[in-house]
Amino acid sequence: MIVAAAAFAAPVLAQQAATSDAPGPAAPAKKSKHKPAAAVAAAPAAAAAASGGAKPTLLGQYGDWGAYTASPGGKKVCFTIAKPASSETSPPGKSRNPPYMFISSRPAEKVSNEVSIIIGYPFKPNSEATVAVGSTSFALYTQQDGAWIKNAAEEGNLIAAMRAGQNAVLKGTSAKGTQSTDVFSLKGLAQALDRSDQDCK
């Protein structure tokens, strides 16, 4: 289910009406402290792209989460991915590309369980998004159509909360001012992470 674009940059598929919030042609991504592993997208068709051209292999489907592995450039990548159980926009009816959340590990870069979101539209520049699990909320920094945890030191806490939680609620604002709320079911996430971690030890 997804695709990590070459070099794990966050690609955008667009071609939607000018009134939509879907992204247009992607601008070159700026370097950030995280490598937009956002490059792994989540539909089986996108999975190939998400792995930098390397064909992803499904390790298993656990509840609402799929566990995958791929080896772009000979470097192993493992990731779990899911699409939202529900999505809303305000104002309603705004079209956008499918959003996905994925958690990736890249042993060659010593990256383990990095949470990334592809939101399906360009975020409002310099805006933050949030992901909440239960009563705990985490700030995300945004770049183009991707989002990553703002304080890397909190990533382990986010993963632990997601493993034990039922839903993760993601909120963000598009460049056109549309507010979105996506609810991701966490059913099967712990098992999917265990499976991908096993493959990327």
Place of tokens 């309603």: 92
Tokens of residue 100, six digits = 């996905």
Q: What is the pLDDT of residues 51-105, one digit of tens each?
A: 556 688 899 999 999 999 988 888 888 999 999 999 999 988 888 888 999 899 9
3-state helix, strand, coil in the chain (%, to 5): 20, 35, 40
Nearest to 42 by CA among 155, 110, 120: 120
CATH number at residue 81: 2.60.40.1880
Domain tally, the chain: 1
> Does 1 fall in a domain?
no
> Does 160 fall in a domain?
yes
Q: What is the strand order of the sheet 57-62 is part of? A: 57-62, 65-70, 77-82, 100-106, 111-118, 146-149, 136-143, 128-133, 167-173, 179-185, 86-90
> Does 58 fall in a domain?
yes
> Does 26 fall in a domain?
yes
Amino acid type, 114: E
Q: What is the pLDDT of residues 134-192, one digit of tens each?
A: 999 999 999 999 999 999 999 999 999 999 999 999 999 999 999 999 999 999 999 99
**Domain ranges, residue 144:** 6-199
Note if the pTM is more than 0.85: no
Burial class of residue 147 in the structure, from the number of CB atoms within 10 Å of its CB (0-12 exposed, 13-18 middle, 19+ buried) = buried
> Does 141 fall in a domain?
yes
Q: What is the pLDDT of residues 2-45, one digit of tens each?
A: 333 322 333 223 223 333 455 443 333 333 344 333 333 334 54
> Does 186 fall in a domain?
yes
